[in-house]
Amino acid sequence: MEYRTLGQSGLRISVSAAQVALAYTLAKPAVTSLVIGARTDEQLADNLAAASLSLSADEQAQLDKASAPPLIYPYWHQAKTARDRLSPADLTLLAPYLR
């Protein structure tokens, strides 16, 4: 994820980039908990504040786009040559790249 994108999101909603990153990660369906690390009381308070931060759908989409890894072979090849024959399992991975 680009720090610039995190910083831009953080500035728009007046929170730190760390809060945005933690809230974004926590909003993912597969994530049930986060392990945070803080050296100071201020960092700990900042990290804990992410639990009450809700990102808008637009902000989440922007962060999804910034953090999406490029497809590696054979997935880019499937997306390019077999889009009409992809199974539901294939689509769970490839759907964001087919738009």
How sure is the predictor about 10, in pLDDT bands with cuts at 50, 70 and 90?
low
Quick one: 10 and 57 in the same domain? yes
Tell if the pTM clears 0.75, that is, is over it: no
Domain that holds residue 77: 70-99
What local confidence, expressed as pLDDT, does residue 30 receive? 87
Count of domains for the chain: 2
How sure is the predictor about 65, in pLDDT bands with cuts at 50, 70 and 90?
confident
Quick one: 96 and 49 in the same domain? no
C-alpha–C-alpha distance, residues 13 and 79, integer Å: 36
Quick one: 64 and 85 in the same domain? no
Quick one: 95 and 75 in the same domain? yes
Quick one: 46 and 11 in the same domain? yes
C-alpha–C-alpha distance, residues 34 and 64, integer Å: 18
Mind listing the pLDDT tens digit for each residue in 17-32?
Answer: 899 999 999 999 889 8
Q: What is the mean pLDDT of residues 58-66?
A: 88
Quick one: 54 and 80 in the same domain? no
